[in-house]
């Protein structure tokens, strides 16, 4: 059951987007899930049910990219009753939300560290650049009964940088120009740099022309640091390559075993892990992470021990998990 006020939706587009996101999340639950929007004001009351999983298709629209919907669903679907297959349509890369490339190359490997690994996959079947989108991804996630505790504190040294330069409905040379521009910066830092080019044509290229670059730096201790940039109006392929490269080097400079966009996910999974001490090293704490720590305290009653280390300018985060068990999954 969903109760909406049409007038509220027309007044505040942000609330409409929130409702659209809740509609996507609601599809992974059974009928116990409800959310209400009060006619007076902009309050949303959400009452989740049991996460059921299964195969779900959702059109994410063009207000936000697929990453806006997929990022929180990545944290929910491992605790479903059955394995989940999500088919999401929309924009695959923009400059607001995580791109599907970064989710595939950085977020999913982090899930595997917590024991979510079997049949975990994200396929990009169609690219969709803003503003019209037209992309499609298929996310497959297993269901687990319980997570594994994690102690991830060794940053290691950056040993290689990989990336994907994609373009849709533009000249194939665009991707090569992005690569050359990025390498002109990154090769000064490390010689092992390889950026793949991904050129889409026809039905797989979405509805709008566009190009972007997603970069990942990997350390000797399997740390993954990401940065990405999608082309905006007036920007050349060379601009995209330079900006993304500098963003990656800045993210590496911050230190830590996870990058800024994935701090929250690792902290959440540490809280849900077995009743053992979990530790992780992060770089500069984002404003989102600060608020998220308050939310974790309010929702789960878990506080983190925060230990800044001046020598590495990083922060050691530690907590004892609540031992969450997914009782919907039968014990094997």
CATH number of the domain encompassing residue 273 = 3.30.1370
Query: Would you place residue 52 in the very low, low, confident or very high pLDDT band (cuts 50, 70, 90)?
Result: confident
pLDDT score of 3 more than 60: no
pLDDT score of 214 more than 80: yes
pLDDT score of 82 more than 80: yes
Query: Would you place residue 59 in the very low, low, confident or very high pLDDT band (cuts 50, 70, 90)?
Result: very high
Q: Do the domain assignments include residue 122? A: no
Q: Is the dihedral of CA 49, 267, 119, 331 positive or negative?
A: negative
pLDDT recorded at residue 21: 66
Q: Is the dihedral of CA 5, 8, 14, 16 positive or negative?
A: positive
Average pLDDT, the chain: 90
Which comes out higher in pLDDT, residue 76 or 33?
Answer: 76
Q: Do the domain assignments include residue 93? A: no
Query: Would you place residue 51 in the very low, low, confident or very high pLDDT band (cuts 50, 70, 90)?
Result: confident
pLDDT recorded at residue 15: 52
pLDDT score of 186 more than 90: yes
Query: Would you place residue 197 in the very low, low, confident or very high pLDDT band (cuts 50, 70, 90)?
Result: very high
Which comes out higher in pLDDT, residue 140 or 39?
Answer: 140
Query: Would you place residue 64 in the very low, low, confident or very high pLDDT band (cuts 50, 70, 90)?
Result: very high
- Rounded Cα gap, residues 230 and 131, in angstroms: 12
CA angle 262, 266, 268 (to 5 degrees): 115
168 and 233, same domain (yes or no): yes
Q: Do the domain assignments include residue 172? A: yes
225 and 168, same domain (yes or no): yes
DSSP 8-state symbol, 203:
G
DSSP secondary structure string, 34-52? EEEE-SSSS-EEEE---B-
165 and 248, same domain (yes or no): yes
pLDDT score of 314 more than 80: yes
Query: Would you place residue 328 in the very low, low, confident or very high pLDDT band (cuts 50, 70, 90)?
Result: confident
pLDDT tens digit sequence for 120-172: 999 999 999 999 999 999 999 999 999 999 999 999 999 999 999 999 999 99
179 and 203, same domain (yes or no): yes
What average pLDDT does the segment 283-301 reach?
96
Query: For a pLDDT cut of 90, what percent of the chain falls above it?
Result: 80
Query: Would you place residue 2 in the very low, low, confident or very high pLDDT band (cuts 50, 70, 90)?
Result: very low
pLDDT tens digit sequence for 249-286: 999 999 999 999 999 999 999 999 999 999 999 999 99
β 84-90/54-59 pair status: parallel
Q: Do the domain assignments include residue 279? A: yes
213 and 279, same domain (yes or no): no
Alpha helices in the chain (DSSP H): 6-11, 13-26, 66-76, 100-102, 108-113, 173-186, 237-254, 263-272, 287-300
184 and 243, same domain (yes or no): yes
What pTM was computed for the model? 0.90
Cβ–Cβ < 8 Å for 230, 102: no
Q: How many domains does the chain have?
A: 3
Q: Is the dihedral of CA 272, 329, 98, 258 positive or negative?
A: positive
Query: Would you place residue 94 in the very low, low, confident or very high pLDDT band (cuts 50, 70, 90)?
Result: very high
pLDDT recorded at residue 329: 84
- Burial code (b: 16+ CB inside 10 Å, e: under 16) for 89-114 equals bbbbbbeebbbbbbbbbbbbebbebb
* Domain range enclosing 316: 258-320
Query: For a pLDDT cut of 70, what percent of the chain falls above it?
Result: 86
Please state, as a whole number, how many other Cβ atoms lie within 10 Å of the Cβ of residue 288.
12
- Rounded Cα gap, residues 13 and 131, in angstroms: 17
Query: Would you place residue 27 in the very low, low, confident or very high pLDDT band (cuts 50, 70, 90)?
Result: low
Lowest mean pLDDT: which of 4-13, 124-133, 266-275, 304-313? 4-13
The residue ranges of DSSP E strands in 80-119, in sequence order, are 84-90
164 and 220, same domain (yes or no): yes
């Amino acid at each position: 059951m969903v109760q909406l006020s049409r007038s509220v939706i027309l007044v505040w587009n942000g609330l409409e987007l929130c409702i659209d996101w809740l509609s996507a999340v609601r599809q992974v639950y059974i009928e116990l899930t409800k959310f209400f929007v009060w006619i007076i004001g902009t309050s949303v009351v959400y009452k989740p049910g049991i996460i059921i999983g299964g195969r779900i298709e959702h059109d994410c629209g063009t207000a936000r990219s697929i990453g806006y919907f997929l990022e929180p669903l990545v944290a929910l679907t491992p605790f479903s009753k059955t394995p989940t297959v999500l088919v999401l349509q929309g924009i695959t890369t923009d400059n607001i939300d995580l791109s599907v490339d970064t989710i595939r190359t950085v977020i999913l490997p982090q899930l595997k560290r917590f024991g979510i690994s079997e049949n975990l996959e994200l396929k990009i079947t169609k690219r969709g650049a803003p503003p019209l989108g037209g992309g499609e991804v298929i996310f497959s996630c297993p269901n687990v009964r319980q997570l594994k505790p994690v102690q991830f504190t060794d940053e290691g040294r950056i040993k290689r940088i990989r990336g994907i330069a994609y373009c849709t409905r533009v000249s194939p040379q665009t991707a090569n120009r992005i690569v050359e521009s990025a390498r002109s910066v990154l090769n000064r830092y490390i010689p092992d740099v390889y950026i793949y080019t991904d050129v889409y044509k026809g039905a797989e290229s979405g509805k709008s022309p566009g190009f972007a670059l997603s970069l990942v730096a990997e350390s000797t201790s399997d740390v993954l640091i990401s940065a990405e940039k999608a082309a905006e109006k007036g920007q050349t392929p060379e601009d995209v390559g330079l900006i993304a490269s500098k963003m990656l080097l800045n993210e590496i400079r911050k230190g830590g075993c996870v990058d800024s966009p994935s701090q929250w996910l690792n902290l959440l999974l540490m809280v849900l892990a077995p009743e053992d001490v979990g530790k992780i090293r992060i770089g500069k704490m984002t404003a989102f992470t600060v608020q998220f720590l308050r939310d974790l305290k309010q929702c789960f009653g878990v506080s983190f021990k925060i230990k800044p280390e001046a020598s590495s300018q990083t922060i050691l985060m530690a907590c004892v998990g609540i031992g969450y068990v997914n009782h919907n999954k039968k014990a094997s």
